[in-house]
Structure 1
Amino acid sequence: MNPVDLVIVIVYLAAMPIIGVLVGRRQKSANDYFVGERSMPWWAVTLSVVATETSTLTVISTPGLVFGSAFLFLEVAFGYILGRLVAAFVLLPRYFKGNYVSAYEFLGRRFGRGLQGTASVTFVVTRLLAEGLRLFAGAIPIKAILDHYGIHTAYWHIVVLLTALTLIYAFVGGIKSVIWVDVIQWSLYILGAIGAVIFLSTKLPDGWTSIASGQGRFQLTDFASNIITSPYAFIGAVVGGAFLSMASHGADQLIVGRLLSTKSLRDGQRALIGSSIVVFIQFALFLVVGAMLWVYTGGKTGATATAVAAGKMSGDDVFSNFIVNDLPVGLAGLLIAGILASTMGALASALNALSTSTIADLYQRFTQRTVADSKLLRHGRMWTLIWAVVFAIFASLFTNSKDPVIQQGLGIVGYTYGALLGSFFLGLVVKKARQSDAVVAFACSVVGMAFLILFVKFDKATTAVHLQFGAATKTLVPLATYWYTFVGVLISMIVGGLLALRHRGPDPRATEVDSPPQEEVPV
């Protein structure tokens, strides 16, 4: 890398906190801090949602997926579109109707404070693990740059720096700063990816698409693999992706908080559905980069492709090493800044979401005190600071793994997403279900998924079930990652539905949340 690239990265790191503070420095109320007084334009929220879900996991890991699974990841992205359509028309109207700032307030109104608190605490733990992994992933390319210049430092030093810079604008500006900085950051890493495509197109031989296609790098669907154990078998990828997206964009405060900052239900639905289209195109762009890298590395020396195949270099390393070693001056700095942008954007969103959930779902619910708005604003900022410190500690605990970090991230949410989404569906579908039924179903789903993920393995050839108290082997493999949310929802619905049979009539609380939702909610 050239010193010019380092200057670009440094300027970016300095500029984002300054822009964020300038945008959101005039916070007037807690409502402004948490949901931007419900005044954000839907297109900005769309890009913020995409930036929030993207993170470094997507930027550095998705191109490397081509080396092992071609374009099959787009099957999952198609499932995302289906899942967000359901979330937009089934779950989102309930949140706007109740004028909530947190998704889990719906559970509090439908079942009671106990389940609302349970869901919020589960969200907090899941976010700490998942976002901690994302934050660690953001440190990977920065460490590669520093090592390249002979500056050897620990990952946790980089993690602390990124957290501190992100905290500045998340602390001061709340959701407004987070959303507008997300828009800038999304534009930055997309421009970087497009720049990589243009650069690679000048380096690849004529007919490179035929070379990649001949080796199966453009394969879009997989109807031959086992749907139980293969992550990209078509049915499993689409159905699993749909349920994963329903949970992440309909039952996770990380995304719901952004949607609730729009001016109306209709705008929220536009933002949610629009994000599914944008993210599909974005995944396709990163996979094109991966296909071009496959030809580029194989055609140049074969060293990188061979190292990946031999397990000496993970797919996550391919794009990072290409950025550091091969891109021209300026473009490398832009892409590194883009990777940092995705990291900081996801972290800022997580800080705001955790602060909102802590105040709305835990503090206000369980203290039952009427607190002045100015005090709530101070509490919100205080919890933003607390969660930033906790995130830095969690991220510092992660180490490198041979598995793509994007799959590690999906594995973490697999424990809890089914229970969260299942609670919402239980409240909407099973009218007899009470809070005790929902809490037991929630716990059974989390415990059941933990047992399934950790101990249940399947024979790769026959799909026979085995209990194995250890790591997976070549013949015994775990359930495909994208089924986790679906199975978790299934457990929650079955347990909650059976427990609800004890009651003779519907829960009175079900009537409150079952009336037809309003088309528009006044700002």
Structure 2
Amino acid sequence: MELSALDYTLIIVFFTIVLGIGVVVSKKSGKSSSEYFLSGRTMPWWLLGLSMVATTFSTDTPNLVTDIVRTDGVSGNWVWWAFLITGMLTVFVYAKLWRKSNVNTDLEFYELRYGGKPASFLRKFRSIYLGVIFNVITMSAVTLAAIKIGGIMLGLEPWQTVVSAGLITVTFSALGGFKGVVYTDFLLFFVAMGGAIGAAYYLVNLPEVGGVTSLLTHEDVKGKLSILPDFSNTNAVITLLVIPLAVQWWSSWYPGAEPGGGGYIAQRMLAAKDENHAIGATFFFNIMHYALRPWPWILVALASIVVYPDVASIAEAFPNIAADKLGHDLAYPAMLTKLPSGLLGLVLASLIAAYMSTISTQLNWGSSYIVYDFYKQQVNPNASEKQLVAVGRFSTVVLMVLSACLALLMQNAMEVFDMLLLFGAGTGLIFILRWFWWRINAWTEIAAMFASGVLSILLKVTPLGNYLFAVDTGVFPDWFQIPFVMLVTTIIWVAATFMTKPESNEVLNSFYKKIQPGGPGWKKVVDNAKADKIDIVNPNEKWSVPSGIGAMVLGCVLIYTCMFATGYWIYGETIKALIFTGIALVAGLLLIKAWNKMKSNIL
């Protein structure tokens, strides 16, 4: 595949603008660590919302969706669609709490909620565990997708893709800090969406595909179209729908979809002007992320089944691709090679935009952990703001190098997704409960973190995994792997909670007074404070969780029905599309009413 002068022009202009933004904002971003990592906490909801969408629009996401659709059909996407429940809980319950905490990172929360050496250890350890290990794994999956795209579309060797894409990304990330990331995300969002929609329209109308009608009636595609799994297939229903909706969304920790909020989503909420802007940003993100954005990728994935029916056909068409990089996820970049000049340049720019947005966010977020939660806490408590920014820029470069090296060793993004889900299984409930149950302590989280990590490693790298969960021969069905880790981890952390001392009254009173979480889970603390004549309750603040959960349900109905409606409009099933559109409108009106009530309570 050869790029035209127009394609090169589009890509060069895009790179120039992105680097220019990084240089322009570098001076202000370097003034303080707060500016570098949170942009002075002055960001509006719409800019943060667009940034969240752009960040999760990574190069590995369309590849992952393509892999899922080709393997399990459209309904296979419930493995990540289920995280909408987590997202809505963050919007209407946790966004307000995070913004009120006023911490610099979500890990700083540990020493707000817990006390003593266990809290200090937890904060420092997780700064490396999440900021380096998990972060590097996530970025390497994104870089792996970039390697596959570069190999398929441009014939680049893996190291060439890593050096060219990584060098520009790490440069503007290190210079511009969080402000540079968010400002470029604004541009990257429109470029990425435009490229995805343009590619889907053109590729579905290729002569060999024949348009939407021919695609949807193709013999190999018809069985992949259902948005819900086949209910006559018990294993598919349990694996694709029941486990994600009943267990996965609240029990598993996954980057960008953390129960109770966290990670780079928390970073954006903490950077918002106020609580309302934090809520607005996360709600806008969830609408775009789940209801609208997946469909261009799904259409390309379905079209790829017609053009490249199996992995062998991809290997035959692209013999230069190494055997260890072959997989169904390659079908997405393989389809993009059929784009015409101009649109090809735009789509390549959009993929570069997706890569840069995700990696720059991960770099700035991971670097914030290293600076605030490790370096300042463990190495140099008296560090100046200039030193903190310098360490932030240095750690940004180191994280990029580590993730690039790991990406060269990886094969499939779906494997990484499954591994991260398993590693976080059983920990998610703690992140939900720690705000609303006084008895959760630092040892609860330490026990859960090590239990899920050790169990996941045992299941993935030792014969125990095959013995317990091998298809047809395992002790348990293969779909029981995540529930198994969740169940064992939960038993361990519940036991650890009651076997260790609760946090001190001083710590619990201080947390309650600052956050005002409310609810029956804090009644004992409030009663003890009253008995000691300590005033920790703000009488003007109402407990907002019941109304927040009601809004969460309405939000889920709204976004899921929008997602179904969009799909049925594309499929040409007008009656179903109209029904789901009507339900979405009703849910939207009810949500506006609930939102206005909640907004007045916040104000």
Residue in 2 aligned with 1:219?
226
- For residue 269 of structure 1, report the CA deviation from its aligned partner: 1.8
The 5 A counterparts of 1:101-140 are 101-111=104-114, 112-123=119-130, 124-140=132-148
1:366, 1:186 → 2: CA distance?
A: 37
Please state whether the residue corresponding to 2:147 is helix, strand or coil: helix
Once residues 79 and 227 of structure 2 are traced to their aligned partners in structure 1, the CA distance between those partners, rounded to angstroms, is 11
The equivalent of 2:509 in structure 1 is 511
Counterpart-to-counterpart distance in 2, 1:86 and 1:118: 27
- Return the match for 1:22 from 12, 24, 47: 24
User: Structure 2: how far apart are the matches of 1:295 and 1:187?
Assistant: 29
CA distance in 1, matches of 2:382, 2:179: 25
Q: 2:180 aligns with which of 174, 177, 180?
A: 177
2:59 match: secondary structure? helix
Residue 399 of structure 2 corresponds to residue 387 of structure 1: yes
Give secondary structure in 1 for the equivalent of 2:82: helix
**Pair 482,491 (structure 1): closer, same or farther in 2 beyond 3 Å:** closer
Structure 2 equivalent of residue 501 of structure 1: 498
- 1:348 matched to 2:360: yes
Kindly provide the amino acid, as one letter, of the partner of residue 496 in structure 1.
W
Identify the structure with bigger relative contact order (alpha carbons < 8 Å, sequence gap 6+).
1
1:335 alignment partner in structure 2: 347
After TM superposition, the runs of 4+ consecutive aligned structure 1 residues lying more than 6 A away are 305-308, 477-483
108-117 or 61-70, which moves further after superposition? 61-70
Supply the distance in 2 between the matched residues of 1:262 and 1:224 (Cα, whole angstroms). 47
* Structure-2 residue corresponding to 1:270: 280
Once the two structures are overlaid, the 10-residue window that deviates more, 419-428 or 119-128, is 419-428
Change (3 A) 1:391 1:303: closer
Matched, 1:31 2:34: yes
Equivalent of residue 285 in structure 1, options 266, 281, 296 = 296
The more displaced of 85-94 and 260-269 is: 85-94
Letter in 2 for 1:358: I
Deviates more, 1:190-199 or 1:434-443: 434-443
Q: Distance in 1 between matches of 2:416 and 2:3?
A: 32
8 Å CA contact retained: 2:253, 2:428? no
**CA contact under 8 A between 2:45 and 2:277: conserved in structure 1?**
yes
1:351-370 alignment runs, 5 A limit: 351-367=363-379, 369-370=381-382
Shift of 1:433: 4.0
CA distance in 2, matches of 1:44, 1:288: 28
* 2:203/2:335 contact within 8 Å kept: no
Give the percent of matched residue pairs that are identical in Structure 1 and Structure 2. Answer: 21
User: Is the aligned partner of 1:69 residue 2:67?
Assistant: no
**Deviation per CA, 1:19-76, whole angstroms, max 9, x where unpaired?**
3322444223211110011112212211221222231111233234332222114434
Helix, strand or coil at the partner of 1:198: helix
CA distance, structure 1, for counterparts of residue 163 and residue 477 of structure 2: 35
Q: Assess if the C-alpha contact under 8 Å between 2:54 and 2:354 holds in 1.
A: yes
Task: Give the counterpart letter for 1:494 in structure 2.
Answer: I
Q: Which amino acid aligns with 2:278?
A: G
Backbone CA RMSD of aligned residues? 3.5
Write the mapping of 1:306-345 to structure 2, written as runs, cut at 5 A: 314-324=327-337, 326-345=338-357
User: Is residue 2:214 matched to residue 1:208?
Assistant: yes
TM-score by length of 1: 0.83
Contact 1:226 1:233 in 2 (8 A): no
Distance in 1 between the 2:80 and 2:295 partners? 9
Moved more, 113-122 or 414-423: 414-423
* Aligned position for 1:259: 269
Change over 3 Å in CA distance of 1:245–1:327 after alignment to 2: farther
Deviations 1:251-306 (A, max 9, x none): 542332122211112211222222121111111221122223334557xxx95699
User: Larger Rg: 1 or 2?
Assistant: 2
CA distance 1:78–1:386, change in 2 (3 Å): closer
Contact 1:20 1:173 in 2 (8 A): yes
Q: Is the 8 A contact 1:411 1:481 kept in 2?
A: no
AA at the equivalent of 1:136: L
Gaps of 5+ in 2: 319-323, 518-540, 542-598
Alignment of 1:224-239 (within 5 A): 224-226=232-234, 232-239=239-246
Higher mean C-alpha deviation, range 56-65 or range 486-495: 486-495
The answer to whether the 8 Å contact 2:427/2:490 transfers is no
SS of the equivalent of 2:160 reads helix
Taking a change above 3 Å as real, the CA distance of residues 77 and 189 of structure 1, as seen in their structure-2 partners, is same
Give the letter aligned to residue 211 of structure 1.
T
Paired residues of 1:432 and 1:503 also in contact (CA < 8 A): no
